[in-house]
Structure 1
Amino acid sequence: MDIVAVSNSNVLDYLNDPSPRTLGRSALEWLDQLQKPTIIRVAGRDRSRTRAMATLLHGNEPSGLFALHRWLLEQHTPDVNMLFLLGGVYPAKIPPMLSLRQLSEGRDLNRCFKEPFEGEEGAIAKAMLAELHKVKPECLLDVHNTSGTGPSFAVTITNDAAHQALTSLFTDRLIMTDLRLGALMEYSEQEVPTVTIECGGSQDDQAHQLAYEGLVRYASRPDVLSLEKAEWDVEVLRNPIRVELVPEATIEYLPEPSGRADLTLPPDIEHRNFGIVSPNEPLGWIGKKGLSVLNAIGHNRTENMGQVFQVREGQIFPAQAIKAFMITTNPVIAKSDCLFYAVKATGEPIF
């Protein structure tokens, strides 16, 4: 039986054990029916335990939504109770659907899971955290797409066997970071194993399939926190730096610089994701302002860009061999979030 209720805070809607007839013929049709950020509860064989999964925190990252819709339509009975949190329903519903990361005047929801919980996004994050506190899940996943094309990986603030086991349900790369940005994965600090899963590009069918297969494993196994059940050996990359543009800087993605931008990156730079870039390989072109248009954030502090990059004849090179990831070719995300993350070629921190 379907039960739809409104929370006391009037922020979230709820669905309990939804039947296929209420889910629409497609994920988009279902999304169109949703009115608010939504909590979905599915009863499991073992009613004493719950696992949680959030997705659609960014309205243009649909793999988790597609996977959940498919999984619900197939009427799986999970091994334990499942709690699903759909956060970014409002931006996701704006036409064309699944094209906006966040509302034009809104905040990034996945930066709002910390006090003071300001604005509409802060209220949604606070309500979602309240649901997690109430249910006390044994673990939590947050399923995303990368901002560009590229292979899958996971991100966590804690690197131990439980986090690696959760990662291995989806992928074989784990990024461990000490950065604190107000992301949901910081719920790990509540001593609940929490991992962000980046499935790959939002337009990539392989990313949608990875999200679905990972969800099936996550919901069906009696134990998801032991490495004995790992699908792959997990490569751990530790404490990447976050490379950002300064607020006033400009960026273009072109095969060669036009001279108008402070930084020019090639349109195919996404192909560098998780590859090693040597000090002799240029990443792009820097303008007259030089490296002053970039910041490198490590462990919540700004580092010396000269330790990360060098400029030779107008081109920007790594100062040492690096492995870069989460590279975007979307100038809006490059400006509002970051250009990419990077570690040494060995996977160790640059600083």
Structure 2
Amino acid sequence: MRRFKFVRDPDPKDLGYNIEEFLHWMDGPTCFLLTGDDPSRTRALVTLLHGNEPSGTIALYRWLKSGRRPAINIVCIVASVGAALEPPVFSHRMLPRARDLNRCFRPPFDDAQGILAEEILEILNLHRPEAVVDMHNTSGSGPAFGVCTYMDRQHDALVSLFTQRLIISNLGLGALMERSEADCPTVTVEVGGRLDDEAHELAFEGMCRYFQTEVVLSPGDTDWGLELLRDPIRLELNDNVTLTYAEEPCDNYDITLKPDIEHHNFGGVKPDTLLGWARAPEKQLFSALDAGGRCAVTQLVRIENGEMYPAQPLKLFMITNNAAIAHSDCLFYAVSDDGSTICA
């Protein structure tokens, strides 16, 4: 364990008087070991894999300052503290030229981000938690949702602590939740927009349930009846394609998306919903693969007289209005408007 600072049951007085002081106090990747009323079991929380997603860290700071004791032992991993501290605070997803940490949880672990991901896995393997929640924010405003690689009652129960919406996805991107196993179900929870107070509050309320509930791996009272979305497809930009956001097409860019496009998050879009404008055919600008590895670009978008529309009725989510994230990750995910897999 070469990078992490380890802290057991910290004194609330030591943590600073605000979230920025808390970040400076950690000063790097930090693992908190919290002793529970039942020390025979352990759960894990991982957060701040992306330095611009503050809700999990804000919620954890609030919990630690309260002096509460969890029901069982909790291992809390706060990862990208350095990126979060880069001015302005909580504005950098990762440091310049660094890989996305949530794409590094598979070999090779041969750069700084890969080594950090490997150390997170080592910590989890050492403590053998009964469950792992990886808490994130969405890059744009939108409702909360969970993600897991397959559906069962354990994943259902974990996500239900936070939200009513669950995406079943196995895209193989190198995310932490792809390491989920039968004896340690792992889910991603996206609590909402990184700038939204509602997301910070949902993160704290869900964290309290996760830390304080005796049993979290059977649906019980937390089973809200999840909305399921299966096998989403990512719409990605091709290399060297330029993108901006504006109310009208911009001549110097290949694609101009409407600045309020994030308002379509988890809403249905129809084939006549204008998403933006484009200056080339769909396959020159975008790439997308369905679950069978086939090109699915024209199943997602169509370009007609320079205007960009959905190719069919869809439900979109993880829509970003940040061009840097669109380039490094994707523009959005999509399923059929009824939540099912998009068929060619």
**Which category describes the TM-score, using the shorter chain as reference length?**
over 0.9
Q: Are 1:226 and 2:226 counterparts? A: no
> When the two structures are superposed, what TM-score results if normalisation uses the length of structure 1?
0.95
1:191 CA drift (Å): 4.3
- Cα deviation, residue 231, structure 1: 5.0
d(CA) in 2 for partners of 1:306, 1:239 = 17
Spell out the pairing of 1:129-140 with structure 2 (5 A cutoff): 129-140=121-132
Contact 1:180 1:300 in 2 (8 A): no
Equivalence map 1:1-351=2 (5 Å): 7=1, 10-189=2-181, 191-299=183-291, 301-351=293-343
Question: Is 2:170–2:178's contact at 8 Å kept on the other side of the alignment?
Answer: no
Mapped to 2, the partners of 1:162 and 1:315 lie a distance apart of 44
In structure 2, the CA distance between the partners of 1:108 and 1:78, relative to structure 1 (3 Å rule), is same
Residues 179 and 300 in structure 1, CA contact (< 8 A), matched pair in contact too? no
CA distance in 1, matches of 2:222, 2:290: 30
- The answer to whether the 8 A contact 2:267-2:316 is kept is yes
Q: Are the aligned partners of 1:158 and 1:188 in contact in 2 as well (CA < 8 Å)? A: no
Deviates more, 1:336-345 or 1:306-315: 306-315
Q: Would you say the 8 A contact 2:281–2:303 is kept in 1?
A: no
* 2-structure distance, mates of 1:158, 1:304: 22
* Secondary structure of 2:321 counterpart: coil
| CA distance in structure 2 between the aligned counterparts of 1:324 and 1:343, rounded to whole angstroms | 7
Decide which moves more: 315-324 or 64-73: 315-324
What is the TM-score with the length of structure 2 in the denominator? Answer: 0.97
Pick closer, same or farther for the CA change 1:57–1:300 going to 2, 3 Å: farther
Shift in Å at residue 289 of structure 1? 4.3
The alignment partner of 1:303 has SS state of: coil
The verdict on how the C-alpha distance between 1:90 and 1:302 changes in structure 2, with shifts beyond 3 A counting, is farther
Q: Aligned AA for 1:217?
A: R
Structure 1: how far apart are the matches of 2:280 and 2:329? Answer: 23
> Matched residues in 2 for 1:195 and 1:32: separation?
28
* Count of residue pairs the alignment pairs up: 343
How far has the Cα of 1:311 moved from its partner?
Answer: 2.0
For the residue of structure 1 that corresponds to 2:64, the secondary structure is helix
Show CA shifts across 1:27-70 (max 9, x none).
21010111221110000011111000000000010000000000
| Unaligned ranges ≥5, structure 2 | none
Partner Cα distance (1:238, 1:256) in 2 = 33
SS of corresponding position for 1:185: helix
Distance 1:195 1:133 in 2: 16
> Contact 1:112 / 1:183 at 8 angstroms: preserved in 2?
yes
